[in-house]
Amino acid sequence: MDKRTAPVRHLDSVDGTVYGKHNKVKMVNPYLCYFIVTYGDGSVYSGNDLFTTGWDGVRQGIKTLQYKLSTGHIINIPKFKGYLPTIEVSESIEGFKMFHAINVNCLGFEEVVTYRIILKEDRISKYKIGDIIISKSKKNIKSSQWRMSS
């Protein structure tokens, strides 16, 4: 069984709705959300989806970083020294997956600025799909997946 695809249910071509006891959650379609990177030489590299992101195929020298969501939202990430996007997901032991957010960690001069792109909305949370929550941290995030700007 392919665990990468089977757990995501209730999806149509744009997004999916998950019904709970007290809440109804709408989530983006993770197959139709991806990043677009441009480089200084004008070339463009697009990611795949939220499962196989394709971030490891991004080379150093990023000029712009943009995210496209299945709902049509386009999020432009400002210029920083470097970027490390992470996908935040919950997975139940029954195999269901909920994509919460894309946390784009951006390397500033003295801190990491995180652009949290919301991927779901419901009756409880005040945030909607495509909202961005910006936070700052002095935390040193070690990863081989940092990609630097041009």
Partner 1 sequence: MSEPILTFLYNYSAIDAPYTGTGGPSGNWKEIQLATGSGVGSDTKVYTGGGINQSLPTPTAAYGRREATLRPVSGLYPVPQIYIESEMDAVMYHIPLASGQPNTNRYVFGVYVDGEVESDLYLEMWDDVTFSTHTVPTLSGSLSYPNSVFNAISTTNSAPPALWNGTTTASGVCLAGYSNRLRLKGQDNIINEAVYYSMYASIPWDLAFTHDQPVEAYRYLYS
Interacting residue ranges for partner 1, rule: CB under 8 A: 1, 3-4, 6-7, 18-25, 50-56, 84-96, 98, 100, 103, 122, 124-125, 142-143, 145
The nearest distance, CB 42 to partner 1, in angstroms, is 25
CB closer to partner 1, 3 vs 42 = 3
CA neighbours closer than 13 Å in the CB half-sphere of residue 29: 12
Question: Residue 54, class by beta-carbon neighbours within 10 Å (0-12 exposed, 13-18 middle, 19+ buried)?
Answer: middle
What SS3 state is found at 6? coil
CB closer to partner 1, 41 vs 123 = 123
Tokens 């946390």 locate to: 103
The nearest distance, CB 16 to partner 1, in angstroms, is 11
Please answer whether residues 65 and 49 qualify as being in contact, where contact means their C-beta atoms are separated by less than 8 angstroms: no
CA-only gyration radius of the chain, Å: 16
CB closer to partner 1, 42 vs 117 = 117
The nearest distance, CB 127 to partner 1, in angstroms, is 12
The nearest distance, CB 120 to partner 1, in angstroms, is 9
Please answer whether residues 53 and 45 qualify as being in contact, where contact means their C-beta atoms are separated by less than 8 angstroms: no
CB closer to partner 1, 11 vs 18 = 18
